Amino acid sequence: MPVVKIADNGKLTLPEDILEGLGLASGDSVLIEMDGQRAVLSRPPAASGPGVTERLRDAIRRKNLETPMRFIKGVGPKMAELLARKGIHTVEDALYLLPNRYEDRRKLRRIAELRPGCVEVFSAEVKTADSVASKGGRRFFEALVSDDSGSLVLKWFQCNPRYMQGIWQPGKRGIFTGEVVVYGSRREIHHPEVEWLKAGDDVAALVAGDPVNFGRTVPFYPLTEGLHQKSLRKVLKEVVDTYSSSLTIQVPAAIVRRRSLLPVSAALQEVHFPGDAADLAELNNHASQAHRTLVFDELFFLQLGLAMKKQGTSFEEGISFTITHQHTRPLLKLLPYALTAAQKRVLSEIKEDMASPGPMYRLVQGDVGSGKTIVALLSALLAVENDCQTAIMAPTELLAEQHYLNIHKLCEQLGITVCLLSSAIRGKARAATLAAIEAGEVQIIVGTQAVIQEKVEFKRLGLGIIDEQHRFGVLQRGVLKKKGVNPHILVMTATPIPRSLAMTVFGDLSLSVIDELPPGRTPVTTKVCFESQRAQVYRLISEEVRAGRQAYLICPLVEESEKSELKAATQVAEHLAVDIFPELRIGLLHGRLKPEEKEAIMHSFKAREIDILVATTVIEVGIDVPNATVMIVEHAERFGLSQLHQLRGRVGRGSQLSRCILLAGGKLSEEAQRRLKVMEGTTDGFRIAEADLELRGPGDFLGTRQAGLPDFRVSSILRDARILEEARQEAFALVEQDPRLSSEENFLLREELLRRWGGRLELAGVA
């Protein structure tokens, strides 16, 4: 079998008999593809692409990066298992296990030179070591170590004294590492690391012989039980030195120069094992040039995928709607109010999208009470006018029911059929509903994820509306889209989403913002109160009701349980009716009621037949009662910022001064205090969302694990917002020039994009 080698100049020369077998002549291009461990030669397709050598090297590079960790020097079966627990299965996984902090071990100092507040490395001898007690009776272990320049105290507050006594024997020498702290005039190090020296060991020789752990800026990695820093460092040094050069597919060279980035391979080497010139503060803040490079690389490929996804929609043939106003104008006449300028602007953007040849992909953001529901309904009516169905998908049955209750009354007056589809609808009723949807007898379908289940067939789905989009993933959006032939997609959220998060989760969507509240709304005054102020809170409710207004009182539970002391809605309603406000009319609303029961209670409250509505968070979204001016939230410390903001949005809907009282119970955690302080300080939904994102992090902020948040290896949405903006600009500009990344210079870039994000962003049909 002939052996073919790549020459130093990068050229590949094939024997003439192989060329003849392929029907090629000398100088022609050859396609080389990897089939397992074998390279398969064939004639290249007519389309442009990278050269043979580049394609072969890319295949070898990918094979190297897929090397299992068990084949790495120093990794036995046990360590491979420990690494697998951290998701480290291959060499590429290991390259992206970045240090979470660094220590400066470039110089061994004498004890007299140790600097307070710094992590220092020094060599010393143990003089004394024993268990001692403080004046308060607290016991700890203490050792005194010294060199020819002075002495230093080492302390351990949680340890086994007998074990420590056996280890820390006077006369032993070691290399110690730890942060120097000062108490009074005495310097100390608490819980230091130690590398013991054997008798006769030379310190300088030992340090020189262990360049991974001493004489440099040393990385510290996130660990798992059984995994140790020194052994992990040694393995990662082997991986970085051997395999980092395999990471060659990266951001285009022009962008690298423009953004002052490093090659990815060099950035990985510097992040794992920084050079002597590295700035320790920059490294620990993940702000070094190497860190910026890796973050930009990751975010650039994400944004490249989103840009292609967005661009790809323009190549799809959608349903071009004709705007007739057959139903929208009659609906506007039924409304007791006029649309705001912001609502009109957003509707114009939606109409323009729906009238275009390609399908709409638009996100509508609007703060509490800004009127998104009516915008959604008017959009649905545009679909009905074009003989198409609309599916409205909400994340919970409660929210789906509320949308149904709000929509179906208006639609019935227009002769439009609306149905509710959720997991609660079963048996014959479900079968009848599914049959009506498939036959086209229902024009607007409101439901939970039930609307995208396999058994649900639409006659002609023209519009999909997803409410509270941040709780759904990209894939669910794709499933809804496949229920029709490229239907228009409108996604909405009442939770203001910070820009950095919107650019990652919804980066492929056009954005509309309803940034104006309906006229006549008054700002809501918010105050945190405690149990000792309950009488004052009840007095406020009484005064408002006597003045002809109404109040909400929100409880976190429906019925009190033995395990919880939280205020329960049923008990609170009974207590208020019997003991506190016997002369007032008390209503009770919670999620266990049937839809028609909820509707009846809501109707009574709107009709002023109920003075105080005791409810669970079922009223978080959907109720509009301008006469309600007081919102009391029991155990407010148990609610998230976003939820508190939504609840507060139920009042302040009329011209009267409205108040929100956040009743806190017991001692508050530091985070709970911060949340409530934010609520007292602002009613701006976007400022609240930013604070919420900082407090909880992106995953918790979005509410569910599958919320569409990308799995980042090196990036942080909070920390790297500026780099995200830059990466988005570059990615979208590149896709503007080459929409399918089909040019020769972008061919491997597209391959890498599909490998990283293809499945998670559903890019197969785009690229």
DSSP string, 575-602: HIIIII-TTS-EEEE-TTS-HHHHHHHH
Q: What is the pLDDT of residue 704?
A: 43
CATH code for the structural domain at 1-46: 2.10.260
Q: What is the pLDDT of residue 46?
A: 47
User: DSSP 3-state assignment of 458?
Assistant: coil
Burial environment of residue 527 by CB neighbours within 10 A (0 to 12, 13 to 18, 19 or more): middle
In sequence order, which residues have a C-beta less than 8 Å from that of residue 557 and are 6 or more positions away? 564, 566, 567, 568, 569, 616
- Rounded to whole angstroms, the Cα distance separating 5 from 17 reads 16
Please check whether the two domains, 378-514 and 524-682, share a CATH topology.
yes
Q: What is the pLDDT of residue 577?
A: 94
Amino acid at 672: A
DSSP string, 20-65: HHHT--TT---EEEEETTEEEEEPPPSS----HHHHHHHHHHHHHH
Q: What is the pLDDT of residue 764?
A: 46
- Rounded to whole angstroms, the Cα distance separating 160 from 454 reads 61
Q: Which residues of the chain have pLDDT under 70?
A: 1-12, 16-52, 312-315, 469-476, 558-567, 620-623, 697-710, 759-767
Whether the model pTM is above 0.75:
no
Cβ–Cβ < 8 Å for 295, 722: no
3-state secondary structure 171-228: CCEEEEEEEEEEECCEEEEECCEEEECCCCCCHHHHHHCCCCCCCEEEEECCCCCCCC
Q: What is the pLDDT of residue 49?
A: 53
CATH code for the structural domain at 107-214: 2.40.50.140
- The architecture (CATH level 2) of 378-514 comes to 3-Layer(aba) Sandwich (3.40)
User: DSSP 3-state assignment of 547?
Assistant: coil
Tokens linked to 210 = 């262990």
Q: What is the pLDDT of residue 705?
A: 41
Phi (first) and psi of residue 467, to 5 degrees: -95, 150
Locate tokens 């060599």: which residue?
123
**Would strands 461-467 and 389-393 be described as parallel, antiparallel, or unpaired?**
parallel
User: How does DSSP classify residue 746?
Assistant: G
Q: Where are the domains of the chain?
A: 1-46, 107-214, 378-514, 524-682
Tokens linked to 489 = 């997609």
CATH code for the structural domain at 524-682: 3.40.50.300
Count CA within 13 A, CB hemisphere, residue 200: 0
- Rounded to whole angstroms, the Cα distance separating 153 from 176 reads 12
Neighbour count for residue 45 (Cβ, 10 Å): 8
Cβ–Cβ < 8 Å for 508, 361: yes
- Rounded to whole angstroms, the Cα distance separating 263 from 293 reads 8
Tokens linked to 235 = 């393995």
- Rounded to whole angstroms, the Cα distance separating 152 from 141 reads 14
